[in-house]
Amino acid sequence: WKTLDDMELNGKRVLVRVDINVPVADGVVTDDTRIQRIVPTVRDILAANGKPILLAHFGRPKGERVAEMSLRQLVPALETAFGTPVRFADDCVGAEAEAAAASLGAGEVLLLENTRFHTEETKNSVPLAQGMAKLGDVYCNDAFSAAHRAHSSTEALARLLPACAGRLMQQELSALEAALGAPNRPVTAVVGGAKVSTKLDLLGNLIEKVDYLVIGGGMANTFLVAKGIDVGKSLAEHAMTDTAAEILNKAESTGCTIILPRDIVVAEAFEANAPHQVLPADQCPADAMILDAGPESVAAVSEVLENSQTLIWNGPLGAFELTPFDAATNAAALKAAELTRDGKLTSVAGGGDTVAALNASGAAADFSYISTAGGAFLEWMEGKALPGVAALVR
């Protein structure tokens, strides 16, 4: 595919698909990693005298104009990050957007409203993409983390204008390829988070590719249930236990060792600082829920990491947003960071929650590479073609 270096940008309106789907609380961006990482693309376009026009989604509004999902609220954070004025258009297509794009001044950036306010966006509608294409002369996709979606702004639009990859897209693909294209073995994957159902295909595919698979978070509970263990009030997907059992069986035949929690931290309420105790994994009381993995589990993960050359991490090991149930995630992250610092491990992490957890523990700085992507990172790891990347290759 082409990069910004291959495009004529002087005086051109450059439609840049970015992923600024960042966490916001009370109107304040709580983790601006994704915003910081698109700065080089915007700066390079401005430096070449191009006019960046940003297209992005925010949340999952399903075609409704949901006020809390307006991208207008990100204008101040973007202006700070880019150090340049950011104008805003209330829609990503139509007369107002076209007028704003046409009158964009030198050194200015235009942000268009949430593409998902149009229901056609997620259907990869060509007419919607044609409306977007009217706003620009060149298309640049810098949203690796949304590249697993075949949507109008990530796929159809790339086929309507001269298209290229942005700096972050280039960096993500080359860093992942360098670390994980032909990984040094043993390879360990740590996969956590709430639901097995959203990562099912991934788990099934991963056990064929990795030597150790550490399963954590709410997802681990479903596997405990599959092993006949009562998990009390814990989050678990009881409808998925047969599938979890199949994954456990398949892992045995592929030689992948699955690591489930040996001990658990349980509490009666899903609250920060809820009274809690550490118990063996098969002894969760009926009125309690598992909120974290215990110290023995952390020791087991640490041992696996010490025996590994490559780590792929997506998803926290416990309810990391509630102290002290972030303990297992933090301890394992710091262990991985230490091994990476000592040159013994190549560590790659991705996913919004994971990056927030690694930032909070202070481990992120020592990881070999932090991807801005969650779902796209996982699909890349599975070896699936990403529609947003495929559309750039012409």
List of residues contacting ligand 3PG (CB under 6 A): 19, 21, 60, 145-146, 149, 352, 374-375
Among residues 50, 166, 216, 352, which one is catalytic? 352
Collapsing DSSP to helix, strand or coil, 89 comes out as strand
SS (H, E, C) 170-210: HHHHHHHHHHHCCCCCCEEEEECCCCCHHHHHHHHHHCCCC
Among residues 318, 351, 374, 375, which one is catalytic? 375
56: nearest Cα among 86, 26, 11: 86
Q: Which residue of the chain is nearest ligand 3PG when measured via CB? A: 21
| Of residues 261 and 352, the one with the C-beta less far from ligand 3PG | 352
User: Rounded CA gap, 132 and 115, in Å?
Assistant: 10
Radius of gyration of the chain (CA): 22
User: Rounded CA gap, 74 and 382, in Å?
Assistant: 33
Give catalytic status of residue 195 as yes or no. yes
Give catalytic status of residue 12 as yes or no. no
87: nearest Cα among 51, 140, 38, 37: 51
* Residue reference for tokens 């006019």: 51
Shortest distance (Å) from residue 116 CB to ligand 3PG: 8
Among residues 13, 17, 34, 199, which one is catalytic? 34
* Residue reference for tokens 């191009």: 50
| Of residues 193 and 294, the one with the C-beta less far from ligand 3PG | 193
Shortest distance (Å) from residue 327 CB to ligand 3PG: 26
Shortest distance (Å) from residue 372 CB to ligand 3PG: 9
Shortest distance (Å) from residue 315 CB to ligand 3PG: 12
Query: Which amino acid does the sequence have at 347?
Result: S
Among residues 87, 123, 134, 195, which one is catalytic? 195
Structure tokens belonging to residue 24: 């916001």
Give catalytic status of residue 294 as yes or no. no
Cα dihedral across residues 347, 222, 386, 359: positive or negative? negative
User: Rounded CA gap, 168 and 299, in Å?
Assistant: 36
Shortest distance (Å) from residue 26 CB to ligand 3PG: 20
| Of residues 16 and 146, the one with the C-beta less far from ligand 3PG | 146
| Of residues 9 and 373, the one with the C-beta less far from ligand 3PG | 373
| Of residues 13 and 34, the one with the C-beta less far from ligand 3PG | 34
Shortest distance (Å) from residue 74 CB to ligand 3PG: 13
| Of residues 166 and 374, the one with the C-beta less far from ligand 3PG | 374
Query: Which amino acid does the sequence have at 244?
Result: A
Measured in residues, the chain has a length of: 394
Q: In degrees rounded to 5, what are phi and psi of residue 315?
A: 105, 135
Structure tokens belonging to residue 245: 């059992």
232: nearest Cα among 167, 198, 273, 276: 276
Give catalytic status of residue 315 as yes or no. no
Give catalytic residues, as residue numbers: 34, 195, 352, 375
